[in-house]
Chain A
Amino acid sequence: MTAAIAVGVLVAAGVFLILGRSLVRVAFGFILLGHAVNLLLMAAGGLGRRGVPILGPDGGPPPATADPLPQAFVLTSIVISFGTTVYLLGLARTQRRGDQPDDTGSRP
């Protein structure tokens, strides 16, 4: 339930920011949306479905383990969203530079 509420709040805030004109706000909106989806991925994990791939000291499954698959997913998705965030911020910087009236050098 906590996860559901957190995802809801993050998505609402993220969508609100994306609808703005400024690219910096859009970048922050996507950071929040990325967090929301990561939480969703973590909440989707569960161990009841199959055995764990990691073996404990006695060769059997260890006593307390989390589902490893969503963690791998989240790790991947964090790396991807980091890259896109850097790109969006770079784009925002380019756009701001282009808005200056004296800078026409970048136009083709």
Chain B
Amino acid sequence: MKKYLVAVAFAASVLAIVSVHAQTSPQGPEGAAQGQPGARTPGQVPTTTPAAQAPSPAPPPGAFQQAGPPGALPDGDGKEIVAVACTQCHGPSVFMQLRMGEAAWKNQVYDMVLRGAQIGPDEIGRAIKYMATAFGPGVPFPGPQAPAVTLADGAGKEIVEGGCALCHGLDRIAVAKRAPDQWKRIVDRMVFFGSPLSDDQQKTALAYLSAQYGAPQTAAK
């Protein structure tokens, strides 16, 4: 479950991060190769446009790069919007490994628009539906699968396995013990992000996580 939270939260913010970084990163190393400027006659602009022909400056060390080589976006209605609007600032791989439902993708796309993504009101609905379909809960991940993990036995184990593994591996659940209020926050967020757990299933999952992977309640909020 813990892993689920992380993945869900990741999904909710990756695009924002990329956008913010794009706003704050240097634009490239100094001295992009253009040769010596030489003496230019005032009033003359080069007939060729070196700026337009120049290769894009290499990003500085530490600049965010897409996690892997850009993969082809799955076909679907709205693909053409996402393919163009999102990649103005970052490659597609930053969201291709995320799994979220429509409500969560809506928040994410809204966040991107507020950070500068050029998507119009008449097309945003299609963009959100495309993301929720192409990268929704249960859509297989590209690349190597997460390591198989056997969760502790207990009532609710199957619910947790089913509800969490839609979006991430189960290995994330067992790595840190968490107080009941933390698990509650995580389960609530999972549901918002698309985990199809009913109210009763959420309670069962919460009880299971608190019992098997719980920590004493602290004053932490």
Query: Are these two chains actual partners, yes or no?
Result: no
